[in-house]
A and B are shown apart, each in its own frame.
Chain A
Amino acid sequence: MDRLLRDFEKRILKEIKDSHLIRGELSITTRERLQKIIDEFSGRRENE
């Protein structure tokens, strides 16, 4: 689980860093991309 969460952290952070913030907030497209990442990770098994 720790590894999964670390991978998730990396992916999420990269997505946020690479995105263009609007007045310091996440844009809709970034949010959609982040949601997809969540879907992907929540579907993974813990030992993956």
Chain B
Amino acid sequence: MSELKITIQNIGAFDTQKAFTLKKGINIIKAPNALGKTSLIKALELAILPEEELQDKGHYMHLFATDPLATATVSILSKDKTWGRKFRRSNGSLLAVGEPFYENGGKAFMVCFAVPENELINLMIRGESIKSYIEDISDSHYYDLAVKFLKDEKERSLQKLQYYRDRLFLLDELKGRMESEQKGLEELKTKLDSLPPIDHEMLVRQKKITTEYEEKYRSLSEIKRRLGELKGQFEEINHTITDLEKRITSQDALIKDIEKQHPIIDAEIEETEAKINSMESQLNKLITEQGYVEDQLNIAREVVVKRQQYKDQICHACGRPLDPEHLAKRIDYLTSRYTELGVEIKKLQGSIETLKASKRALEERKQRLMSYKDILREYKSQLQEQERKKEQTEQKIFKLEKEKENLELELKKLEQTIDKQVKELLDLRTTLEVDIETRRSRIKALQARIEELTEEIKPAEKLEKRVLFLEKALDHMEKRAKEVVTAVIKRFNERVNEIFNILRFKDFHKIEIDDVNFKVHVYRSRDGQIIKFPLEALSTSERITLAVALLIAGKHEYFPDFPFFVLDELVTSYDPTRFQKLIQYLGNVTDYVIVTSLAPEEEQELRIEYAKPSV
């Protein structure tokens, strides 16, 4: 790689395509202001910076401001490599087509471009800590991100693990319970085994007898219960019967009483009826007669009135001569008869009413008698029903009593055949067997739960490993985060002192970046004593020289293969003598040292001077 041809178009001062040749060694770009020195350096920056950094650093946009739609290009041609990259503005951002010329261009720019915007140079001029620069170079912020992430992960994993640990605790508890249950089961089994043996046949027989005894005992209890119930019913029936009998007697007495007073009540009623009829017939006759008498009396009174009125001597009714005396007698008789008849009628009417009342009373009694008889019949029917029930209940009681007697006899017999010792033994065995079964079922349930939990906490082992690994990884990464920074400082310190020694810069005894505050200090000899000076104590020129020396140290250490080192005239102008030496030094360790230099105004275009470094 002896020569590089750089072609630039539409970048900064270069509207049209322009090609430059860089030669191995020192390339001094000379031109008056505004003829493209900075544009050429910017083109190199565009060539090496990754796309995201180009976008972050918005100032590259202004390079295309003259023609925003035009495409800018940078291409680098060497004997064995052709490289190119295009740029254009798109939606307010910079779009680069093509990979950068150098893979780690972002950092190479930080180290190999001693231009006015270089971060290290600026920090040093201001006398500030260079921590941020060292961190950028060392990738420590990536380590910091990794550490933060690992911490989060560890925390999360520990939280999960805690859950599993709780489950594990439960599992231990269950296992403990299981152990105790199994121990209990063994004890029960031993107890069962230690019971005296029972002859099999006897056992079977006893079991049969016991079962039969229990069954019969249950039946007897049932019979007793039924008997109690039936006896209760029987007593109830007896009460009802007694009550009905009482009622029948009383009802009978009532009937008899009425019948005694009226042995032939129907005849009595008929007779009264006949009397009433006869009296009414007589009454009708009297009423007819009274009507006739009244008519006659009216006629007689009319005759009297007419004779007095018309002076008649003859009766106009019968035509016979009128006898006033006779007429007077007749009127008296008729009046007296009318009154007698009235008295008789009233009397007869009273008698008839009395007879009618008597008849009604008789009829009422008859009615009552009939109803008493109906009730009596009903009572009697009920009595019959109760007696039938009584009989049935008696029969049932009798039957059950018989059954009870038989069962009691059978039970007595069975009791005699039951061996009490064997029965007790059997009871004990049964109890133990039931207990054993209960324990077994508890153990089974516990086993299932344990299996389930064991399955559930399976990931815990993996998680435990993860946490262990995370602890180690975190520890490692935290150490490494410090180490990379310390290593960068150490290397910078070594290299910068080496460069100063080679170049025989005698101003400083030693240059040092401290790894606590990340500040640059220098040690000077004063009257045979080594005195430490802070950066602020140095002149700007010394600070810039130191900064560029640190950059060269960085390139040496981290980017030995990066082909360029750029020095801007603004940087070199502070101490041209020293920078001459630095440039010469750089020429020996870098393929292409690019230095910008202001040319007199009369020169009309940019040119590159080439120089070989002195050995």
Question: Which residues does A use to contact B, with CB under 8 Å?
Answer: 1, 5, 8-9, 12-13, 16-17, 20-21, 25-26, 31, 34-35, 38-39, 41-43
Choose from B143, B149, B153, B462 the contact partner of A43 (Cβ within 8 Å): B462
Q: What distance in Å separates the Cβ of A46 from its nearest Cβ neighbour in chain B?
A: 10
The CA of A25 and the CA of B148, in the complex, are separated in Å by 10
Inter-subunit contact A8/B473 (CB<8 Å): yes
Choose from B139, B462, B469 the contact partner of A13 (Cβ within 8 Å): B139
- Residues on A with beta carbons closer than 8 Å to the beta carbon of B466: 38-39, 42
Inter-subunit contact A42/B145 (CB<8 Å): no
Choose from B143, B149, B469, B470 the contact partner of A26 (Cβ within 8 Å): B149
- Residues on B with beta carbons closer than 8 Å to the beta carbon of A13: 139, 142-143, 146
Question: Which residues does B use to contact A, with CB under 8 Å?
Answer: 52, 139, 142-143, 145-146, 149-150, 153, 462, 465-466, 468-470, 472-473, 476-477, 480
Q: What distance in Å separates the Cβ of B473 from its nearest Cβ neighbour in chain A?
A: 6
Q: What distance in Å separates the Cβ of B486 from its nearest Cβ neighbour in chain A?
A: 16
Inter-subunit contact B145/A16 (CB<8 Å): yes
- Residues on B with beta carbons closer than 8 Å to the beta carbon of A16: 142, 145-146
The CA of A43 and the CA of B477, in the complex, are separated in Å by 19
Inter-subunit contact A43/B146 (CB<8 Å): no
Q: What distance in Å separates the Cβ of B137 from its nearest Cβ neighbour in chain A?
A: 14
Apart from A16-B146, A17-B139, 20 more pairs, CB < 8 Å: A5-B472, A5-B473, A5-B476, A8-B473, A9-B477, A13-B139, A13-B143, A13-B146, A26-B149, A31-B149, A34-B149, A35-B153, A38-B150, A38-B469, A38-B473, A41-B473, A42-B465, A42-B466, A42-B468, A43-B462
- Residues on B with beta carbons closer than 8 Å to the beta carbon of A43: 462, 465
Q: A13-B139, A17-B142, A31-B149 are in contact. Are A42 and B470 (CB under 8 A)?
A: yes
The CA of A12 and the CA of B477, in the complex, are separated in Å by 10
The CA of A8 and the CA of B149, in the complex, are separated in Å by 14
- Residues on A with beta carbons closer than 8 Å to the beta carbon of B142: 13, 16-17
Q: Pick the most buried of A8, A17, A20: most chain B CB atoms within 10 A of its CB.
A: A8
Q: What distance in Å separates the Cβ of A12 from its nearest Cβ neighbour in chain B?
A: 5
Q: Which 9 A-B pairs have the closest CB atoms?
A: A42-B469, A42-B466, A5-B476, A16-B142, A12-B146, A42-B465, A13-B142, A16-B145, A8-B473
The CA of A41 and the CA of B462, in the complex, are separated in Å by 11
Smallest CB gap from A16: residue in B: B142
The CA of A34 and the CA of B477, in the complex, are separated in Å by 14
Q: What distance in Å separates the Cβ of A43 from its nearest Cβ neighbour in chain B?
A: 7
- Residues on A with beta carbons closer than 8 Å to the beta carbon of B462: 42-43
Q: Pick the most buried of B146, B150, B477: most chain A CB atoms within 10 A of its CB.
A: B146
**What are 14 inter-chain pairs, A to B, with CB distance below 8 A?**
A13-B139, A13-B146, A16-B142, A17-B139, A25-B145, A34-B153, A38-B150, A38-B469, A38-B470, A41-B473, A42-B466, A42-B469, A43-B462, A43-B465
